[in-house]
């Protein structure tokens, strides 16, 4: 299966909807987040950033695409209540680690797009908050989905394809 933006966003949305402790899901799109957090956002929520890619691990014989994903689990403690802030941060960390545990499991399934492409040792995470007008707190998780990426010129993609490509 070819991995791309849609595959990754669909997967994290699926995880958010199936997790018993995650109430909401958003992409890190400023208009989407501003509208939701000021409107009907359900907390805790998983907010997914668009992935980044790195082809620097490639060679002439093989192209390797290292896609870096990032998501944050946001919670909303009462403003100024430090005991609740500590508890919500603990909740956010626990939920985020359970998402990583699920990814680790899915990466062992031969039919899954993460199969042999996600390794838990690529993951790091850090506290965030307070952010936005709502004073949200949470943990941001960053990791890699790495796999071979066949970069072959498709003659049909190019106006001069028949001249430069041999099928």
Indicate the domain borders of the chain. Answer: 5-164
Q: What class is the 5-164 domain?
A: alpha beta
How confident is the model over 147-161, as pLDDT tens digits?
Answer: 888 887 777 877 776
Q: What angle do CA 54, 162, 159 make, to 5 degrees?
A: 65
How confident is the model over 12-40, as pLDDT tens digits?
Answer: 999 999 999 999 998 876 665 555 565 66
- Whether pLDDT at 42 is above 70: yes
* Confidence band for 5, pLDDT divided at 50, 70 and 90: very high
Whole-number Å distance between alpha carbons of 90 and 127: 10
Question: pTM above the 0.85 mark?
Answer: yes
Whole-number Å distance between alpha carbons of 167 and 161: 10
């Amino acid at each position: 299966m070819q991995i791309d933006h849609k595959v990754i966003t669909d997967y994290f949305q699926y995880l958010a909807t199936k997790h018993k402790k995650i109430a909401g899901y958003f992409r890190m799109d400023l208009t989407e987040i501003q509208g939701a957090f000021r409107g009907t956002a359900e907390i805790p929520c998983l907010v997914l950033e668009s992935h980044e890619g790195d082809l620097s691990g490639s060679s002439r014989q093989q192209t390797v695409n290292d896609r870096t994903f990032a998501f944050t689990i946001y919670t909303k403690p009462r403003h100024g209540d430090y005991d609740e802030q500590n508890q919500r941060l603990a909740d956010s960390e626990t939920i985020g680690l359970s998402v990583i545990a699920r990814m680790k499991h899915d990466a062992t399934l031969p039919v899954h797009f993460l199969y042999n492409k996600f390794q838990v040792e690529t993951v790091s995470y850090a506290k965030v908050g307070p952010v936005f007008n709502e004073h949200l707190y949470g943990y941001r998780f960053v990791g890699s989905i790495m796999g071979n990426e066949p970069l072959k010129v498709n003659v049909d993609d190019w106006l001069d394809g028949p001249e430069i490509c041999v099928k």
